Amino acid sequence: MVPDPAAPRGAFLVALVVTALILGGVTLLVALARSGGPRSGRLLPIVRVLWLGLVGAVWVGLNLVSLGWVRLGRVGPADPAPVTVEVEARVWSYRISNPQVPAGVPVLFVVRSADTLHSLGLYDPDGQLLFTLMAMPGMEERGLFTFPRPGRYRLRCLEYCGLGHGLMAGDLVVQGR
Ligand code: CUA
């Protein structure tokens, strides 16, 4: 199988093979230079220059070529436009602008606090924590997330914020498309 250099895995395999080939070639030259043959004294400086040149070329080349494989930011032009969910935290509840969002579409969370320091921990239907965002008075925290599957997700405050902290929760329903 020939690796597809356009895929990140393919790029890694290509880099691995190129590195192995260069390492093998240089090792061979070093072995020749050290073998004590008639021209071995002149081989060693050439090996050094070759080695530095090759490593430099490969390093610069791979970095330049791999620029095309880097996805800058999590929302590319091919992605659907994100759905914005504004979450305002206050003692001891969340006000969620639209508590129903579609699965498979990027969701931009914009989190604020109306009073004190809170946070937002988002749990999937199995109770696994997916991510956390801080809710700070006078500030705004943003996070982008794409829900892979529908279900009832749970918001919980993970920053101690007073007596009702343990009860501070909310629901977000992710709908199938
Ligand atoms: Cu809000 Cu703890």
Q: What are phi and psi of 128, to 5 degrees?
A: -85, 135
What 3-state DSSP class applies to 72?
coil
Q: What integer pLDDT is reported at residue 177 of this predicted model? A: 73
The binding-site residues of ligand 1, defined as CB within 6 angstroms of any ligand atom, are 89, 92, 118, 157, 159-161, 165, 168
Residue 92: which of 126, 58, 116, 128 has the closest Cα?
116
Q: How many CA atoms lie within 13 A of 164 on its CB side?
A: 10
Distance CA 121, CA 114 (A): 17
Give the global pTM: 0.57
Is 157:119 a contact under the CB 8 Å cutoff? yes
Give mean pLDDT, residues 122-143: 96
pLDDT band at 9 (very low <50, low <70, confident <90, very high): low
Residue 135: which of 160, 153, 152 has the closest Cα?
160
pLDDT-wise least confident of 30-34, 83-87, 120-124: 30-34
Residue whose CA is closest, atom 1 of ligand 1? 118
Residue pLDDT, tens place only, 76-93: 556 788 999 999 999 999
- Find the 122 Cα to ligand 1 centroid distance in Å: 13
pLDDT band at 48 (very low <50, low <70, confident <90, very high): confident
- Find the 83 Cα to ligand 1 centroid distance in Å: 25
Pinpoint the alpha helices (H) of the chain. Answer: 8-34, 40-66
Return mean pLDDT, the chain.
83
Give every CB contact of residue 149 below 8 A, 6+ residues apart in sequence: 103, 174, 176
- Find the 104 Cα to ligand 1 centroid distance in Å: 29
166/49: higher pLDDT: 166
